[in-house]
């Protein structure tokens, strides 16, 4: 099963409800919501009030990618606002085990994200406690960046270790995902493809969502 998770970072922020209706038409599985704080990453986006408004507009699960410091203090706000999945960065959470368990206790699926230069080893202890791992295939902060090829090998190594340890963890990949690399990402072991510009940068986001799935299925 492949999940397509369009990132609304590249959508028209003045028309979010319409943009989500389009990707829903195209069969998207999740709505990927990039939360940036201007500290952990050099960009500032949205917070719980916008997530609450999105949750009223769609039944698709909201996949919230928190690129923020101090996540512990605000996780509850995001989950109450309607986040179904909350992914935090290993690099931004000094007490990651506590953070992950706070997410789970508040009723959401917990995910952990790692930046391109962060080794997979930093996930070893937390892996059994999470539902998904987000491999950043660009340095977080902005949409429309170029895919870092070394991510493919990283995903393959993570997939092998998940399988060897018999864990139920989905691999999500985020950054520079397009129809041109979707199949290799799936072949490497990714099962959730996040895409911003490859979907909302296209004239027809519904069609772009379908095209991305079709391209991804070739890697199964």
Residue list 162-201, contact with ligand DX5 (CB under 6 A): 174-177, 194-198
* Backbone torsions φ then ψ of 199, nearest 5 degrees: -115, -60
Q: Which is nearer to Zn ion, 163 or 198 (CB)?
A: 198
- Sign of CA pseudo-dihedral 213, 207, 48, 92: positive
Given 16, 19, 20, 32, the residue binding ligand DX5 (CB under 6 A): 32
CA 43 to centroid of chain Cα atoms: 17
Given 58, 122, 145, 161, the residue binding ligand DX5 (CB under 6 A): 145
What is the DSSP code (8-state) at residue 61? P
Q: Which is nearer to ligand DX5, 48 or 176 (CB)?
A: 176
Given ligand DX5, Zn ion, none, residue 10, with its beta carbon under 5 to 8 Å by kind, binds ligand DX5
Contact at 8 Å (CB) between 186 and 220?
yes
Given ligand DX5, Zn ion, none, residue 91, with its beta carbon under 5 to 8 Å by kind, binds none
Contact at 8 Å (CB) between 8 and 16?
yes
Other beta carbons within 10 Å of 142: 17
Q: Which is nearer to ligand DX5, 103 or 113 (CB)?
A: 113
Q: Which residue is nearest to Zn ion (CB)?
A: 65
Q: Report if residue 65 touches Zn ion, rule: CB under 5 A.
A: yes
Binding footprint of Zn ion, residue count (CB under 5 A) = 3
Q: Give the catalytic positions in this structure.
A: 34, 174
Q: Report if residue 7 touches ligand DX5, rule: CB under 6 A.
A: yes
Q: Report if residue 10 touches ligand DX5, rule: CB under 6 A.
A: yes
Q: Report if residue 174 touches Zn ion, rule: CB under 5 A.
A: yes
Q: Which of helix, strand or coil describes residue 188?
A: helix
CA 20 to centroid of chain Cα atoms: 16
Q: Report if residue 144 touches ligand DX5, rule: CB under 6 A.
A: yes
Q: Which element (helix H / strand E) includes 17?
A: helix 16-25
Ranges of beta strands (E only) in the chain are 3-6, 31-36, 62-67, 83-89, 109-114, 132-136, 170-174, 192-195
Residues near Zn ion (CB under 5 A): 34, 65, 174
Residues near ligand DX5 (CB under 6 A): 7, 9-10, 32, 34, 65, 138, 140-141, 143-145, 174-177, 194-198
């Amino acid at each position: 099963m492949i999940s397509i998770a369009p990132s609304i970072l590249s959508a028209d922020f003045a028309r979010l409800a319409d943009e989500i209706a389009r990707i829903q038409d195209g069969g998207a599985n999740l709505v990927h919501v990039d939360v940036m704080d201007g500290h952990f990453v050099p960009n500032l986006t949205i917070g719980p009030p916008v997530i609450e408004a999105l949750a009223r507009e769609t039944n698709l699960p909201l996949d919230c990618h928190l690129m923020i410091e101090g996540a512990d203090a605000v996780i509850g706000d995001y989950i109450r606002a309607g986040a179904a999945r909350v992914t935090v960065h290993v690099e931004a959470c000094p007490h990651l085990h506590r953070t992950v368990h706070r997410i789970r206790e508040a009723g959401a699926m917990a995910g952990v994200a790692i930046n391109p230069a962060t080794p997979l080893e930093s996930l070893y202890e937390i892996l059994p406690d999470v539902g998904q791992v987000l491999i950043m295939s660009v340095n977080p902060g902005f949409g429309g960046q170029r895919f870092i090829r070394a991510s493919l090998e990283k995903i393959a190594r993570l997939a092998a270790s998940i399988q060897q340890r018999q864990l139920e963890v989905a691999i999500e990949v985020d950054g520079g995902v397009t129809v041109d690399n979707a199949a290799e990402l799936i072949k490497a072991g990714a099962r959730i493809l996040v895409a911003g510009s490859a979907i909302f940068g296209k004239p027809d986001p519904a069609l772009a969502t379908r095209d991305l799935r079709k391209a991804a299925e070739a890697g199964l």
